[in-house]
Amino acid sequence: MGKALVVYCTRAGATKKIADLIAEGIRIEGGEADVVNATAVKNEADLHGYDGYLFGSPTYHGEMMQAMKTMLFLAEKANLEGKVGGSFGAFGWSGEAPGRIFDTMDHILKMDVVGGPLRLKSAALGGGTEMAQGYGREIGKKLSAS
């Protein structure tokens, strides 16, 4: 079974909650998942040893957080080409960050991205818990098929 790394940054805790729920979904499908804050990723070696990667950031003033931008530059050096990937994030108004992360994973990192980005206002609203776990389950299924 595959192992995924779920990397998030957060301002108010909403994106961390989504990361935890995605990891639950991966585990439901029999996979392993480690959840870490983007600030804990210090170099590209910290990204090695996984079959899949999920990167998440809230959208703040139309952008992803700086910690995620820095982590994506490290990911570019880590040779994640062909690895399973997905993106997620919480937002208040616009929600661009997960899409920008997803596009980076797809076009620059050349990862095997799943579906589209998961954008939630909150894991606690409108079925957010189920959507986040479902996204994780989709990743988990892809990991078991790889």
pLDDT-derived band at 27, boundaries 50, 70, 90: very high
Q: pLDDT digit string (tens) for 85-96?
A: 999 999 877 788
What average pLDDT does the chain have?
93
Domains of the chain as residue ranges with CATH: 3-145 (3.40.50.360)
Q: What is the pLDDT of residue 117?
A: 95
Q: pLDDT digit string (tens) for 108-140?
A: 999 999 989 998 987 766 778 999 999 999 999
Q: Give the 3-state secondary structure of the chain.
A: CCEEEEEECCCCCHHHHHHHHHHHHHHHCCCEEEEEEHHHCCCHHHHCCCCEEEEECCCECCECCHHHHHHHHHHHHCCCCCCEEEEEEECCCCCCHHHHHHHHHHHHCCCEECCCCEEECCCCCCCHHHHHHHHHHHHHHHHHHC
Q: pLDDT digit string (tens) for 39-61?
A: 999 999 999 999 999 999 999 88
